Amino acid sequence: MTETVHPVTDEWAKRAFVDNARYEEMYQRSVADPDGFWAEQAKSLDWIKPFTKVKNTSFDAPDVSIKWFEDGELNVSANCTDRHLATRGDQTAILWEPDDPLTEGRTITYRELHENVCRLANVLKSHGVQKGDRVTIYMPMIPEVAYAMLACARIGAIHSVVFAGFSAEALAGRIEDCRSGYVITADEGRRGGRTVPLKVNTDEAVTIAEAAGARVNHVIVVKHTGADVAMKDGRDVWYHEVIDGTSADCPAEPMNAEDPLFILYTSGSTGKPKGVLHTTGGYLLYASMTHRMVFDYHDGDIYWCAADVGWVTGHSYIVYGPLANGALSVMFEGVPTWPTPSRIWEVVDKHKINILYTAPTALRALMGAGDDHVTKTSRASLRLLGSVGEPINPEAWEWYYRVVGDSRCPIVDTWWQTETGGIMITPLPGATALKAGSATRPFFGVKPALVDADGKFIEGAGSGNLVITDSWPGQMRSVYGDHERFVQTYFSAYAGLYFTGDGCRRDEDGYYWITGRVDDVINVSGHRMGTAEVESALVAHPKVSEAAVVGYPHDIKGQGIYAYVTLMVGEEPSDELQKELKQWVRKEIGPIAQPDLIHFTPGLPKTRSGKIMRRILRKVAANEFDTLGDTSTLADPGVVNDLVEARKNNG
């Protein structure tokens, strides 16, 4: 496909906070004088005690240390609620669109949000939650999830939101890892017309976590579907009962800018998810500033980020960024394809959405359903479109641009990670000419670079591994409870540089094109999945001897999960066993981790030192048999032929 460039329109250059001249000027300043630049930007937040220091960071292992505004004090929940009361108390903060389009939605004003947050904060306190305690949030996409996050922030508790699609086992691991003494959940969740047994999963998770030495003191349960669920005396309480009669007066705790705000678990190259730790001041500044400038959010705009709060996108761009900016944030409980593939566009029309932020996997699924589902809706309110989570292929980009946006709306393809806290490489709608499939240029203060395998910088146009050479305020500070792992994971591949794990090309115009992960992380429907995690789930099955998991190209999901499985001696491959193993992984981790293909094989290609050659497994899974590369170091080269034959027969 030839590269088309979509220039910035005059209208956008005029309307936007940042046009191209301003981008150049601000970007230069942000990297030449980070202290001055960020001190000025930080005025957008309400500080309880002003900071005198701005940036104090080092990427040098083993003493990696990242501090921003380290002597300042503020409270995130006060920034997201209290300070808006005088000017926009009656404005909608959260507009909730339920799963079922035939049921009633809800609107929550900033005043109501503030009240609900304060009440829940008082409830948490009365149940013994103190500053620094960890609170696990396992909730559907309902306004109460935002109350819960902000209530934690209000009293200085650290929240750990676990995606409601994760299994009881996965939830247990996350409760246990951060020794979380409290869980906030709901009776059930709803998604695409089905219910998710959140309380049942929570009960099971608490049992598993407590068997491993954790202790859960209290579980707060929101009544959402009204399902009949068991409540354990002395431990479980109903949200509506404890909120009732609780005071809405709860002063916000003054927090140091570097006090932890939240932990969010994410998959890495090893089997165990990492607790990515974000702190207070730098995170909120970065989330709110990127939200304002990337989406060019002006007062009165109707903004919808269609992610789930269980992921970082939901944290930064449904809750913290928009609410800090006093925005109207739409929260959607459902899925894009239910009840019909028109749902997203119907919601756009219903609420007159101006800014829509979604993921390529959703777009590809909707694209496959046919243009009629889109074109029968108006979408006239749309002004700006966003994409996040994985590389967007040029075909999907052009479809989004042409069919969804009627060739009228710029697309911001935003590259970032759980670890980065906010958007890092992205167009700005009033400043950046767009190229389909490119995340374009760095945001303010972000210094990307490309390195080759030896860590040598690649100058000008070229491809390499994407690193960031200096700190930005939204950067993660540590892996919870394991700073060494933080240093090891991100700062040891290339001395003095933050390694993203992504491959990338830079073109002649200095535009960045992310090509995907270069480590053992795969991106399934925009969700990060460590192959090692799926492997350890598989080998935990009594009939499995060995497993190797790789990603392979998948039309809708971007990458699918391909599992090579070797069975225990005496076990025979069968369709039933295939189904059983898929089900097993669902239960161990969650539906998103379920392998798409299971390839039973008597052996895996290994080096003489016993290392599985994943490079070859990836090629075979991708049907790229002609480019298998060097197989001479294999202990038994014959294994590869068998795999290739089996793959061909699998279709």
Residues of the binding site for CoA = 191-194, 313, 525, 586
Q: Are 197 and 301 in contact (CB under 8 A)?
A: no
Stretch that binds ligand 6R9, among 218-226, 307-315, 367-375, 587-595 (CB under 6 A): 307-315
Find the helix or strand (DSSP H, E) in which 358 lies. Answer: strand 355-358
Q: Which of 416, 498, 511, 512 binds ligand 6R9 (CB under 6 A)?
A: 416
DSSP 235: T
Query: 281, 391, 410, 473: which one contacts ligand 6R9 (CB under 6 A)?
Result: 391
DSSP letters for 431-442: T--EETT--BSB
Does residue 414 bind ligand 6R9 (CB under 6 A)?
A: yes
Residue 18 main-chain phi, psi, to 5 deg: -130, 120
Separation between Cα atoms, residue 252 and residue 168, nearest integer Å: 33
112 is a site residue for ligand 6R9 (CB under 6 A) = no
Q: What stretches of 212-324 show up as alpha helix (H) in DSSP?
A: 239-243, 281-294, 312-314, 321-324
Q: Is 417 a residue that touches ligand 6R9 (CB under 6 A)?
A: yes
Q: How many whole angstroms separate alpha carbon 586 and alpha carbon 196?
A: 13
Between 290 and 601, CB nearer to ligand 6R9 = 290
Question: Is 312 an interacting residue with respect to ligand 6R9 (CB under 6 A)?
Answer: yes
Give the H/E segment covering residue 579. helix 575-588
* Sequence-distant (≥ 6) Cβ neighbours of residue 625 within 8 angstroms: 619, 644, 647, 648
Per CB under 6 A, 311 contacts ligand 6R9:
yes
User: Nearer Cβ to ligand 6R9, position 314 or 326?
Assistant: 314
Q: Which stretch binds ligand 6R9 (CB under 6 A): 208-216, 228-236, 305-313, 560-568?
A: 305-313
Residue type, 251: P
Cβ closest to ligand 6R9, residue 501 vs residue 551: 501
- With a CB cutoff of 8 Å and minimum separation 6, the contacts of 245 are none
Identity of residue 141:
M
How many residues touch ligand 6R9 (CB under 6 A)?
A: 24
User: What's the CA gap between 281 and 54, in Å, rounded?
Assistant: 11
Residue 439 interacting with ligand 6R9 (CB under 6 A):
yes
The amino acid present at 234, given as its one-letter code, is: G
Candidate list 19, 187, 259, 413; residue touching ligand 6R9; CB under 6 A: 413
Binding mask 510-539 for ligand 6R9 (x = CB under 6 A): ----x-xx-----x----x-----------
The yes or no reply on residue 313 touching ligand 6R9 (CB under 6 A) is yes
Q: Judged by CB, which is closer to ligand 6R9: 72, or 310?
A: 310
Q: If binding is defined by CB under 6 A, does position 266 make contact with ligand 6R9?
A: yes
Q: What is the C-alpha to C-alpha distance for residues 544 and 534, in angstroms, rounded to an integer? A: 13
Q: Which of 156, 189, 273, 389 binds ligand 6R9 (CB under 6 A)?
A: 389
Q: Largest alpha-carbon pair distance within the chain?
A: 73
Asked whether the bond before 62 is cis by omega within 30 degrees of 0, the reply is: yes
Which range touches ligand 6R9 (CB under 6 A), out of 89-97, 132-140, 413-421, 454-462? 413-421
Q: Please report whether residue 551 would count as binding ligand 6R9 according to CB under 6 A.
A: no
Q: Is 209 in the site for ligand 6R9 (CB under 6 A)?
A: no
224 binds ligand 6R9 (CB under 6 A): no
Examine residue 436 and tell whether it contacts ligand 6R9 (CB under 6 A): no
- Residues between 489 and 508 that touch ligand 6R9 (CB under 6 A): 500-502
Return the residue nearest ligand 6R9 (CB atom). 418
Scanning 49-57, 75-83, 386-394, 400-408 for contacts with ligand 6R9 by CB under 6 A, the matching segment is: 386-394
What residues have CB less than 8 Å from 32, skipping those under 6 apart? none
Question: Which of 176, 189, 183 has the alpha carbon at shortest distance from 202?
Answer: 183
Between residues 138 and 415, which has the closer beta carbon with respect to ligand 6R9? 415
Residue 615's SS3 state is: helix
Instruction: List the structure tokens of 580.
Output: 């059983």
CB 417, min distance to ligand 6R9, A? 4
Give the single-character DSSP code of 207: H
Residues at the site binding ligand 6R9, with contacts judged by CB under 6 A: 266, 311-313, 387-391, 413-418, 439, 500-502, 514, 516-517, 523, 528
